[in-house]
Chain A
């Protein structure tokens, strides 16, 4: 079907590159936007045209709505793809696009606004019969009453900001005597971070799993789900490794949770691609968490196991197309795992790292996909999210996928800045991970394992040897040996041919 002639991608890094690839496949021209820090970034090189939108600070470039609209006007793009992060869940931007006659590739701004408010969306979901974690709102409730109600749902509880996100304005309370202070603290933090001091209390689940469902809905009321993803391995609410199918989700549970996810989407009049997040308890009970009203970082694992290109679908839906796939025809083949390579130092408290990538080489082979925003010689700026690239593998089953991931990570050098690759390898090698024993507390529970990994620097001497011979020709006797360690003159003589005549 005919969609658009030209799309502006209001994002940077790997996701911008990935969206541009989908546009190219659909015969759509692409426009990149870039800040002054990104002049030589990969997404700028990949696009058909590129517009400079401002200084390095995101607030003055990738988050600047006026400038973004100007860039659309200047280039004559008909639609905007926001990617994830930045303006992707900004309902003001989505509304502004609509007013300006620009197609926003995402859900309608009203759905977005509703889903952005935790308390409001929670109320809508309760009304629609969606299971949410037991909890209650606090409106000038005396502390005694709060404690009484919290006691009823059972400690531990979580005090959360209605407008919250990213762990801000959130307090876990294990002991009733700490409740008053937590409510006060969360409200204060919420007020300073979001300008809204409304907080509520909900039950804190112990060692839950994070299970989310990919949904796709068109503007004609058709909604399907594309199975689950498990993203339990997190650090500070930041996902690190995602996979599908989840080792904890049976066929029956998938059907039930999938139906709930569709119910959630319908209750919010949702269209385009989205993700419904749940927490799954150890006893198989699940609770609605939130909706991510955009394309997710971890969308590739769903693409690998269903064969459905989510960005293609997003574009077609935005152009008014009807979903062609019926729920019963959604495929699910094999197992896929994704890891996120961040520019952080896993051996030093995950300190962000920036600078020049001196060398990188992507792993290749059957079932290996790399969604990358970097290249040898590029610079990683300090101003943005430190994601460098994502490594995704597919195989017949979970064990084979883990083995393939291990092999791929072993062959994915990123030199010059710190990256989390070796830490991801340690996760893949972890016995509990291999058994599928996961929870959102995985990293804390495995602290001893990871400390041991950090201190194991058995290869340091080998690295020193490699560094010492790094510069070719720097050593007087750089001898080339064949595989038996014997000197073989045919290997270092250079190009030669039997019987060739010497031309002068």
Chain B
């Protein structure tokens, strides 16, 4: 069965295939590699991939997969098997709204419903971890809906200001 992962805007289709002698092959976007797993527990994997020995740490929560290799963390998203991602990744296709990239407190809303706005106008300021973050409009348009007030806590990704573009 195929797994589908994405990293940034890249999609990876993964499949395994038993080799007739020992172990398995892994197919990533149809390119085939030999893979051997030497040891594996909940969060640590020691494997050889195409002749290279790799120590990786991994963890997952729902569809979010986190893998640490050579000092760097890769945040991957798992998608439903067979998902058609040819039209782009869900959520990343610029919905015309402004949301906070991390949870925080709204300290200022610079627009009102009905305002005409320009691309890059700062619409909302969110504070998280003692830092102010300016949320700018991705497009020219008109403010259609504001779903929060100053002082509210917001989750990452929740639309704060929705923008109509006609």
A479 contacts partner chain B, Cβ-Cβ < 8 Å: yes
User: A460 touching B74 by the CB < 8 A rule?
Assistant: yes
A241 to chain B, nearest CB (A): 15
B122 within 8 A of A: no
Whether the Cβ atoms of B10 and A460 lie closer than 8 Å is yes
Specify which of B3, B38, B57 is in contact with A480 (CB 8 Å cutoff). B38
Interface contact A486-B22, CB-CB below 8 Å: yes
Judge whether A498 is part of the interface by a CB distance below 8 angstroms: no
Question: B49 contacts the other chain (Cβ, under 8 Å)?
Answer: yes
The prevalent SS among residues of B at the interface is strand
Let me know if A40 is at the binding interface, CB within 8 A: no
Contact with A along B39-50 (1 / 0, CB 8 A): 111110101110
Determine the chain A residues whose CB is within 8 A of the CB of B12 once the complex forms: 460-461, 464
Residues 70-93 of B contacting A (Cβ, < 8 Å): 70-76, 78
Binds B, one of A27-35, A213-221, A255-263, A406-414: A406-414
Complex alpha-carbon distance, A412 and B56, angstroms: 11
Of B98-106, B110-118, B137-145, B158-166, the segment with at least 4 beta carbons within 8 Å of chain A is: B98-106
B39 touches A480 (CB 8 A): yes
**Known: A351-B101, A382-B129, A479-B36. Is A462-B56 also a contact (CB below 8 A)?**
yes
Interface flags for B7-23 (1: CB within 8 Å of A; 0: not) read: 11010101010100011
Interface centre among A359, A386, A410 (most CB of B within 10 A): A359
> What B residues does A409 contact at CB under 8 A?
71
Of the 9-residue stretches A76-84, A110-118, A465-473, which lies at the interface with chain B? Answer: A465-473
In whole Å, how far is B112's beta carbon from the nearest beta carbon of chain A? 23
Q: Is the CB of A383 within 8 A of B58?
A: no
Query: Known contacts A469-B45, A470-B60, A478-B40: does B72 contact A383 (CB below 8 Å)?
Result: no
Task: Report whether A467 and B43 are in contact in the complex, using a CB–CB cutoff of 8 Å.
Answer: no
Having A463-B76, A467-B76, one finds 4 other A-B pairs with CB under 8 Å, namely: A353-B102, A382-B104, A472-B41, A487-B23
Chain B residues close to A by CB (< 8 Å): 3, 5, 7-8, 10, 12, 14, 16, 18, 22-24, 26, 28, 33-43, 45, 47-49, 52, 54, 56-61, 65-76, 78, 101-105, 128-131, 133
7 contacts between A and B (CB under 8 A): A382-B104, A415-B73, A465-B26, A465-B33, A470-B60, A475-B24, A485-B36
